[in-house]
Structure 1
Amino acid sequence: MRPIRFSLALLALTPLAARAQTPAWTRPLRPVATYSIVARDSATGEIGVAVQSHWFSVGATVPWAQAGVGAVATQSFVEPSYGPLGLELMRLGRSGPEALRALISTDADSAVRQVAMIDAQGRVAAWTGGRNIQAAGNHVGRGYSTEANLMDRPTVWDAMARAYEGARGDLAERLLQALEAAQREGGDIRGRQSAAIIVVAGTSTGRPWADRIVDLRVEDNPEPVRELRRLVTLNRVYRSLNEGDAAVTRNDLNAAAASYGRATSILPDSATNGEAVFWTGISFASAGKPDQAIPYLRRAYAVWPKWADLVRRLPAAGLLPNDPALIDRLVREMAAR
């Protein structure tokens, strides 16, 4: 679709009544029918959006989020520009509800849109146009909104709201439970195909790559929400590994051991092809703790013996001491039964 034909500066400053005369947006061709949730965690400030659809690669168009700004879900006869424009309006100081009203008021096809926006303060609003394919609706709660269209039953969005409110765990976990509740309630009348989740920090560090806590997509899968949960679990593994690496850099081996312990206990070693336990072992070996390293390296070798070959290559990259005796010991003992 072509981008909408007005500037953000005009959108932010022009009264709504005048903006209503802005040229119409490109008319959509087909619906990205979907169910989604936008939410803010009041304890951490994290902001997130999660979605499932019977549509290929739903994560490319529906979910949008920016640390310290907010999150958007734009769906039904989707206009993707609601995402970046909504975030920009919130970044410029509009609340989530104000940003949504500003965009809806300028959209000649608003009757076929379904959109939700939440800002970094948790102010939230949703829109379900009157020409959405039924069953369609939304539920706006405190710090979240659930929305769905082309559903098997008109109870999906309320079931998502109940699941989210009753869920425990971090924001990603609670978003996943809302998606799972939608599927139990019947979900999309056409079935399922893709899913996505984004969780960002409540405040921006100026480093977007560091502010995106979870950013995962399932493009095409017969059980997309189940696969999305698997990926979120893997994400937790690698985030804990990164925390352990940062602790090693600070020479805080106790904190490193705790982070590595979490990472390597979440899933079986085979789930990461030994990657998690291998690099945990290498981190300890590089810190002069070979006795702590060897049990992890042995677990990696049990999954994939070629990890032993990689050990010999790491000194040249500065990832292990250039100590032949140490390298021989690591390789020998990781292969020991």
Structure 2
Amino acid sequence: MNRLLLLIFILSLTNLQAQNIGVEKDAFAHTYSIVARDTITGEMAVGVQSHWFSVGSIVSWGKSGVGVVATQSFVNPAYGPEGLELMANGVSAEQALTQLVEEDEGRDFRQVAFLDASGNVSGFTGKNCVEAAEDLQGKNFSVQANMMVNDKVVPAMAEAFVRYSDYPLAERVVEALKAAQEAGGDIRGKQSAALIVVGPEKTENSWEDKKIDLRVDDHENPIKELSRLLKVARAYEHMNRGDLAVEAGNMENALKEYGAAEKMFPDNLEMKFWKAVALANSGRIEEAKPIFNTVFKADKNWKEMITRLPPSGILTISEEELKEITE
């Protein structure tokens, strides 16, 4: 950093300290984001991208049956849990955000968006957010950005979210992020991205709260990687349903779900293996054999794996059939 830039940086921090608002201790997350709700499923989501490490760890917040929050610029993380608590107690997104902004001495440096389970949305962009900075609300969504290359980023996000209305919510959010980047994006570039999706109903089990929880903490093309991870997540949703079908003894459904996953990622050995297991359990040994052979050839550990399944009841074939498969 040359001396002039260093001096400007020091003077900037000194000015913040002089204002006694505490933002000099807050994390930078100049970024673009979207909070949104699916009117059909009731799911709610936050999508975000920034030229900052691990943006998802501080910007995106959500709770099933309650709402979602994006808090950025000079991030005050308290907007996340405190906003969700207010909305959980019946306070609307607009009232909750207004209350927290009024209590925040560093409000001029904040950019925040709230969305509640009823689809109410509210956004706030402090007057000291770095341009191009703006928030824009639509039906069941809010898009917001600061430190952008130009003022086209936010409208592009809104337009994309509306245009892809036939997509599942998570995919719509990713399309909005892609549109933001295509419109210019963060003036500093790209580094991290995140996506969370929560359900429409409250749950007492914390492990059921987030239906999708993906983070790309450090990547040269974080949105592209986020999109890839979302596709993987969708494939493993099929895998999970396949496992539940096996547990219930419904091999027909198991085969259907494992097959759907394998179709999405045909080179994935795990998906091939469990599809073959479902085939074997359905009495279709001859169809299963070439799939098992492909998997075993690629990684011999899977051959050992299959011998461990019969005692658990996951593989329900005879010893002779098992021998045929492993020879």
- Name the TM-score, length of structure 1 as normaliser: 0.85
Partner residue, 2:84: 87
Partner residue, 2:10: none
Cα drift, residue 196 of structure 1: 0.4
Q: What is the rounded CA distance, in whole Å, between the counterparts of 2:41 and 2:316 in structure 1? A: 40
Equivalent residue of 1:164, what SS? Answer: helix
Partner residue, 1:279: 274
Shift of the 86–312 alpha-carbon distance from structure 1 to 2, 3 Å rule, reads same
**5+ residue gaps in structure 1?**
1-23, 333-337
Partner residue, 2:210: 212
Task: Map residues 248-287 of structure 1 onto 2, 5 A cutoff.
Answer: 248-269=246-267, 272=268, 274-286=269-281
Q: Is the 8 A contact 1:28 1:78 kept in 2?
A: no
Cα drift, residue 25 of structure 1: 6.7
Shift of the 26–291 alpha-carbon distance from structure 1 to 2, 3 Å rule, reads farther
Q: Percent identity?
A: 43
The code of the aligned residue for 1:259 comes to: E
Partner residue, 2:5: none
Task: Map residues 14-163 of structure 1 onto 2, 5 A cutoff.
Answer: 26-29=22-25, 31-163=28-160
Partner residue, 1:230: 228
User: Aligned pair count?
Assistant: 306
Does residue 300 of structure 1 match 2:301?
A: no
Q: What is the rounded CA distance, in whole Å, between the counterparts of 1:49 and 1:236 in structure 2? A: 17
Cα drift, residue 275 of structure 1: 1.1
Equivalent residue of 2:249, what SS? Answer: coil
| Structure 2 residue corresponding to 1:309, chosen from 288, 292, 304 | 304
Q: CA RMSD in A?
A: 2.0
Q: What is the rounded CA distance, in whole Å, between the counterparts of 1:290 and 1:211 in structure 2? A: 40
> Relative to structure 2, which stretch is displaced further, 185-194 or 245-254?
245-254
Shift of the 58–251 alpha-carbon distance from structure 1 to 2, 3 Å rule, reads same
Task: Map residues 190-209 of structure 1 onto 2, 5 A cutoff.
Answer: 190-209=188-207
The code of the aligned residue for 1:226 comes to: K
Q: Is the 8 A contact 2:35 2:114 kept in 1?
A: yes
The code of the aligned residue for 2:169 comes to: L
Q: Is the 8 A contact 2:251 2:281 kept in 1?
A: no
The code of the aligned residue for 1:98 comes to: Q
The code of the aligned residue for 2:171 comes to: E
Cα drift, residue 302 of structure 1: 5.0
Partner residue, 2:324: 329
Shift of the 297–203 alpha-carbon distance from structure 1 to 2, 3 Å rule, reads farther
Shift of the 319–99 alpha-carbon distance from structure 1 to 2, 3 Å rule, reads same
Shift of the 257–136 alpha-carbon distance from structure 1 to 2, 3 Å rule, reads same
Q: What is the rounded CA distance, in whole Å, between the counterparts of 1:294 and 1:231 in structure 2? A: 30
Q: What is the rounded CA distance, in whole Å, between the counterparts of 2:252 and 2:51 in structure 1? A: 46
Partner residue, 1:15: none
Q: What is the rounded CA distance, in whole Å, between the counterparts of 2:35 and 2:55 in structure 1? A: 15
Q: Is the 8 A contact 1:237 1:276 kept in 2?
A: no
